[in-house]
Amino acid sequence: MSGSSLTTLLPNDVLGRLERVRLQPVRRLTNPSRGEHLAGKGGSSTEFADYRDYAPGDDVRFVDWNIFSRLNKPYMKLYRHEEELHVCLIVDASASMKYGTGETKLMRASRIAAAFGICALTSVEKVSAHVCHAAGTEPVRMPPSTGRKSLPRLLKFLETVQPGGDYPIESAVADVLKRHRGRGIAVIASDFLTFGDVSGLFGRLQAAGLEPWAVQVLSPEEIDPDLSGDLRLVDCENGAGLDVTRAGDLLGFYHDHRLALEDELAVQCRQRGGRFLPVSTTEPLKDLLFGTLRRRGWLR
């Protein structure tokens, strides 16, 4: 991509690189009667869907040699199988997500969701997006879409996300699943700071045929707070307050509980066949997308 930027979420050079990256499910998500999902493989049960750039390791039998002869650049032919991989993007837009250093947690969550969505759409997977604002309201939804033609729609949808109120992430996921259909991957970008029970969250996703990929987005102040003296702490979602004396003495207690939550999320994801990754709002985006996520096997 060149010229003016397609989106405010990601710079053009990142967009271009993401178009050559694929999601890598923990398990092979296939339709047993039809074979591998949406790949460079033909056959009587498939129909041509789109093109993507050739990447090392691709089967050269599915290079479009007519295009190569004209452009001197290899492109892979992609085919749509009877069952598509459904990538379900879930962005936590509750009030706590409007905080962060460098950028808000909500902005980082939207950028992460956009990156996964781009990888999926350019591989001709089906993508839906859900933004969860406040309890008692339906998550704002972009219906399932496929192909490069859907990129502007997805990016515009995620650009306009605004923070809402109190919405426990486990309730948000339950509401999303009421309208979801199809096997695939659920990418959840949230701070997971909730009073609810997260243990059942990933089980519900697995039961719906979705691999849970959880990204916990935190600000540096939440990862390593620097507090002292007498303070009044206020819950940004429900307004509840707590007076604290000698706040610095409680930091060890806070760190223990934050790390315990992180461990619980990681264990719950693994047990349900998924993945978990904690990220900071200050981590350089390119390092996260093309370094951390590739090393961890989320992307290839």
Same domain? For 60 and 149 the reply is no
Same domain? For 61 and 102 the reply is no
pLDDT tier, 150 (very low <50, low <70, confident <90, very high otherwise): very high
Question: Maximum distance among all alpha carbons in the chain?
Answer: 73
What pLDDT digit, counting tens, does each position of 57-102 carry? 666 777 888 888 888 888 877 665 445 689 999 999 998 899 887 7
Does some domain include residue 14?
Answer: no
How much is the pLDDT for 189? 97
DSSP assignments along 75-110, one per residue: EEEEEE-SSPPEEEEEEE-SGGGG--SSS-HHHHHH
d(CA 182, CA 191): 26
Same domain? For 47 and 111 the reply is no
How much is the pLDDT for 116? 98
Does some domain include residue 61?
Answer: yes
Same domain? For 158 and 242 the reply is yes
Backbone angles phi, psi at 193, to 5 degrees: -90, 95
> What CATH number corresponds to the domain at position 129?
3.40.50.410
In angstroms, what CA-CA distances link 34 with 43, 44, 78? 9, 10, 15
How much is the pLDDT for 139? 83
Residue 32 has pLDDT above 50, yes or no: no
How much is the pLDDT for 134? 76
d(CA 169, CA 262): 15
Same domain? For 42 and 182 the reply is no
Same domain? For 110 and 203 the reply is yes
The total number of structural domains that make up the chain: 2
How much is the pLDDT for 250? 76
Which residues are CB-contacts of 94 (< 8 A; sequence separation ≥ 6)?
A: 132, 133, 134, 163, 164, 165, 166, 167, 169, 172, 237
pTM for this model (two decimals): 0.79
What mean pLDDT do residues 121-143 have? 87
How much is the pLDDT for 34? 32
What pLDDT digit, counting tens, does each position of 263-293 carry? 999 999 999 999 999 999 999 999 999 999 9
Share of the chain above pLDDT 70, in %: 79
Sole residue written with tokens 């900071």: 280
In angstroms, what CA-CA distances link 101 with 71, 98, 135, 221, 234? 45, 10, 26, 8, 19
How much is the pLDDT for 61? 74
Does some domain include residue 6?
Answer: no
pLDDT tier, 35 (very low <50, low <70, confident <90, very high otherwise): very low
How much is the pLDDT for 248? 64
How much is the pLDDT for 159? 94
How much is the pLDDT for 43? 39
Q: Which residue has the higher pLDDT, 123 or 184?
A: 184
Residue 121 has pLDDT above 70, yes or no: yes
pLDDT tier, 196 (very low <50, low <70, confident <90, very high otherwise): low
Residue 187 has pLDDT above 60, yes or no: yes
How much is the pLDDT for 38? 42
269, with CB counted inside 10 A (0-12, 13-18, 19+), is buried
Same domain? For 105 and 118 the reply is yes
Same domain? For 65 and 41 the reply is yes
Does some domain include residue 54?
Answer: yes
pLDDT averaged over every residue in the chain: 83
Domain hosting residue 193, numbered range: 86-295
How much is the pLDDT for 106? 96
How much is the pLDDT for 2? 45
Does some domain include residue 108?
Answer: yes
Question: How far does the chain reach from its first CA to its final CA, in angstroms?
Answer: 20
Sole residue written with tokens 């981590």: 283
d(CA 276, CA 116): 14
What pLDDT digit, counting tens, does each position of 226-272 carry? 766 666 666 665 656 666 666 667 777 878 888 999 999 999 999 99
Same domain? For 162 and 235 the reply is yes
Share of the chain above pLDDT 90, in %: 47
Same domain? For 117 and 265 the reply is yes
